[in-house]
């Protein structure tokens, strides 16, 4: 057999053998528990390993068998649903850290410009702040590794800075043209999933959830207690662009919003018996006007939360139709250090509807769904929404709702396509706003000292003509088109984004959202909607 034919058939052979092994493993007792030991453990070598050993020992040429094996796995999974995925060993740690809500490192946010690592933000109370690191410092060396002017990548600098809690990392930094030595003791660093919580209007609280991680529920409760003390009577929860995460986090939050006893969702699969998730305890916000903000990036756990609120008529869903992911995955650790995230069931919200959009036309068509929605006009016109499931579903009060592809909002707010003129698009894609905000803040820190908090900044700070001209001068170095012919709309958008990015420099994501939301039409509609509900 020729080398070319062997390269074609080896991945197929691996895929067949792997499929057999996975099928047998999945049928073993306990395979639905998430226990990796039961899933793949066998006393003897399996046929896949035998083939790999034979290729390594006997094949005429050297082969990258790890790559062939990964191609075989991916080839097999391509015939399943789009959410059954293989996570290579090199990516597993980052994936797990994101869901667990923490990692071990030094607690700084950085960017890389002109081959230089700039400290953009320092975590309050974190290891770097304790060691004296400041926003604006430039990292030159980490231990014995030079990172300045060395084609450093974000992945490499993260690998150098992260390490076991309690270990030391020695850095050389440049501060105001002087080199300083800073030794930092690494610690556990939280990855927050609540990006912002503040009073959006008198009596109206706002909470932005960016993902559902292991820490989300605790973060949510802390935010609720803070807002309650501030006089919250009505609530807006923003899950726009939230891709989901842990089911448990979404159901526990839903339990705080729904009274007892109510079904939140149920899961069911071929080898996965029906499991009901119901409210269990008195919630913190079972009464009071409620709005959930969604868009085409709201998926999975976000859709569970929005769907339960809609089906029980507990609140109003505002925005655009959600992504449409209604499949349950369990993660199984593999012996090579990677993991298999396998779909084992579908979930159904209280009206009995599945919110999973169709995927029978293949992964490529599935991936292009959001672009198809845009081209079809759905993002700007509610009447253009294509409902693929014609089965009639009803909410608790008898309102008609739809399945087969996400949660359709009760109040539709179109996507603002005017945000993406050539000039604005170039500014977003080239990070011009964030790069300028960092540079301006580090050279004008004294100007920002009068502002006490994000609320104060949002109400009082104005982008002056001088600041706007400084930005345009900076943007010209990024070759942004049309800077000398900006229309009024573009100027308004630029000023709003500039203000939000400067707020982010001062108050991280809390400042960014409080500032940018001030002119957000979805937020304005949500405030108007909840304020119209009588207490």
Task: Kindly report, residue by residue over 187-246, the tens digit of the pLDDT.
Answer: 999 999 999 999 999 999 999 999 999 999 999 999 999 999 999 999 999 999 999 999
| Backbone dihedral region for residue 398 (phi beyond 0: left; psi -120 to 50: alpha; all else: beta) | left
Specify the pLDDT at position 212: 96
Helix (H) or strand (E) segment spanning residue 157: helix 154-161
DSSP 335: T
428: confidence class by pLDDT, cuts 50, 70, 90? very high
* Distant-in-sequence, close-in-space partners of 279: CB < 8 Å, separation ≥ 6: 254, 255, 258, 259, 260, 261, 262, 264
pLDDT, tens digit, 9 for 90 and up, residues 459-516: 999 999 999 999 999 999 989 999 988 999 999 999 999 999 999 999 999 999 999 9
Helix orientation angle between 247-257 and 216-229, rounded to the nearest 10 degrees: 30
Work out whether strand 234-238 and strand 290-294 pair parallel, antiparallel, or are unpaired. parallel
8 Å CB contact between 193 and 250? no
Q: Mean pLDDT, the chain, as a whole number? A: 88
Specify the pLDDT at position 379: 85
Residue 364 has pLDDT above 60, yes or no: yes
Distances (CA, A) of 230 to 13, 206, 236, 237, 449: 63, 12, 15, 16, 25
* Distant-in-sequence, close-in-space partners of 99: CB < 8 Å, separation ≥ 6: 211, 213, 214, 245, 246
pLDDT, tens digit, 9 for 90 and up, residues 52-95: 778 878 888 887 877 877 888 888 888 899 999 999 998 898 88
* Calpha distance 370→111 (Å, rounded): 30
Specify the pLDDT at position 45: 63
Higher pLDDT, 41 or 164: 164
8 Å CB contact between 457 and 507? yes
Specify the pLDDT at position 43: 45
Work out whether strand 85-87 and strand 327-333 pair parallel, antiparallel, or are unpaired. unpaired
* Calpha distance 69→75 (Å, rounded): 10
Q: Which two tokens stand for residue 181?
A: 């030595």
* Distant-in-sequence, close-in-space partners of 72: CB < 8 Å, separation ≥ 6: 10, 11, 12, 13, 14, 15, 18
Q: Residue 302: which of 345, 268, 251, 363 has the closest Cα?
A: 251
Residue 367 has pLDDT above 90, yes or no: no
pTM for the model stands at 0.85
8 Å CB contact between 328 and 269? yes
Q: Residue 357: which of 375, 376, 373, 374 has the closest Cα?
A: 373
* Calpha distance 406→402 (Å, rounded): 8
Residue 29 has pLDDT above 70, yes or no: no
* Calpha distance 327→465 (Å, rounded): 51
Secondary structure class of 487 (helix, strand, coil): coil
Higher pLDDT, 450 or 23: 450
Secondary structure class of 289 (helix, strand, coil): coil
* Calpha distance 116→345 (Å, rounded): 47
Q: What is the mean pLDDT of residues 265-284?
A: 94
* Calpha distance 217→239 (Å, rounded): 14
Q: What is the distance, to the nearest Å, from the Cα of residue 444 to the centroid of all Cα atoms in its chain?
A: 32
For 202-259, give the DSSP string: TTEEEEEE--B-TTHHHHHHHHHHHHHHTT--EEEEE-TT---B-HHHHHHHHHHHS-
Secondary structure class of 526 (helix, strand, coil): helix
pLDDT, tens digit, 9 for 90 and up, residues 104-137: 999 999 988 888 999 999 988 899 999 999 999 9
pLDDT, tens digit, 9 for 90 and up, residues 322-340: 999 999 999 999 988 999 9
Specify the pLDDT at position 384: 79
């Amino acid at each position: 057999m020729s080398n070319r034919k062997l390269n074609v058939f080896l991945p197929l052979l691996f895929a067949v053998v792997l499929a057999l092994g996975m099928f047998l493993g999945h049928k073993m007792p306990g395979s639905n528990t998430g226990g990796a030991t039961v899933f793949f453990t066998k006393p003897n070598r399996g046929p896949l390993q035998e083939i790999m050993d034979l290729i390594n020992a006997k094949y005429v040429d050297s082969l990258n068998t790890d790559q062939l094996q990964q191609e075989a796995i991916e080839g097999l999974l391509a015939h399943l649903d789009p959410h059954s995925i293989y996570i290579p060993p090199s990516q597993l740690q980052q994936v797990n850290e994101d869901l667990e809500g923490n990692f071990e490192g030094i607690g700084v946010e950085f960017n890389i410009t002109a081959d230089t690592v700039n400290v953009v933000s320092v975590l309050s109370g974190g290891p770097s702040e304790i060691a004296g690191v400041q926003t604006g410092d430039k990292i030159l060396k980490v231990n014995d590794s030079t990172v300045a002017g060395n084609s450093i990548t974000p992945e490499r600098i993260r690998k150098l800075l992260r390490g076991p809690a309690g270990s030391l990392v020695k850095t050389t930094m440049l501060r105001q043209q002087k080199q300083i030595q800073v030794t930092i003791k690494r610690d556990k660093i939280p990855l927050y999933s609540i990006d912002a919580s503040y009073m959006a209007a008198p009596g109206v609280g706002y909470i932005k959830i960016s993902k559902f991680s292991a820490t989300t529920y605790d973060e949510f409760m802390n935010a609720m207690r803070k807002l309650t003390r501030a006089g919250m009577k009505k609530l807006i929860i923003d899950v726009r662009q939230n891709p989901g995460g842990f089911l448990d986090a979404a159901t526990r939050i839903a339990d705080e919003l729904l009274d007892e006893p109510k079904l939140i969702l149920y899961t069911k699969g071929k080898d996965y018996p029906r499991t009901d998730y119901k409210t269990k305890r008195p919630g913190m916000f079972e009464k009071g006007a409620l709005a959930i903000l969604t868009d085409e990036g709201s998926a999975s756990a976000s859709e569970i939360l929005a769907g339960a609120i809609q089906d029980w008529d507990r609140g109003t869903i505002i925005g655009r139709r959600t992504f449409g992911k209604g499949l349950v995955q369990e993660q199984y650790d593999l012996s090579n250090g990677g993991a298999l995230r396998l779909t084992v069931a579908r979930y159904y919200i209280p009206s009995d509807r599945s919110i999973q959009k169709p995927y029978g036309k293949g992964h490529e068509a599935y991936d292009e769904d959001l672009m198809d929605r845009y081209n079809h006009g759905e993002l700007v016109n509610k009447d253009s929404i294509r409902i693929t499931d014609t089965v009639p579903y009803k909410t608790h009060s008898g309102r008609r709702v739809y399945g087969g592809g996400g949660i359709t909002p009760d109040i539709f707010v179109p996507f603002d396509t005017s945000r993406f003129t050539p000039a604005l698009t170039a500014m977003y894609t080239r990070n011009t706003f964030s790069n300028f905000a960092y540079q301006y803040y580090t050279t004008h820190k004294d100007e920002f000292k009068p502002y006490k908090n994000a609320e104060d900044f949002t109400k009082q700070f104005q982008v002056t003509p001088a600041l706007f001209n400084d930005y345009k001068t900076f943007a010209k170095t990024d070759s942004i088109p049309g800077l000398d012919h900006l229309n009024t709309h573009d100027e308004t958008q630029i000023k709003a984004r500039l203000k939000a990015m400067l707020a982010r420099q001062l108050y991280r994501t809390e400042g960014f959202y409080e500032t940018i939301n001030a002119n957000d039409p979805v937020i304005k509609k949500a405030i108007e909607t909840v304020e119209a509900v009588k207490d």
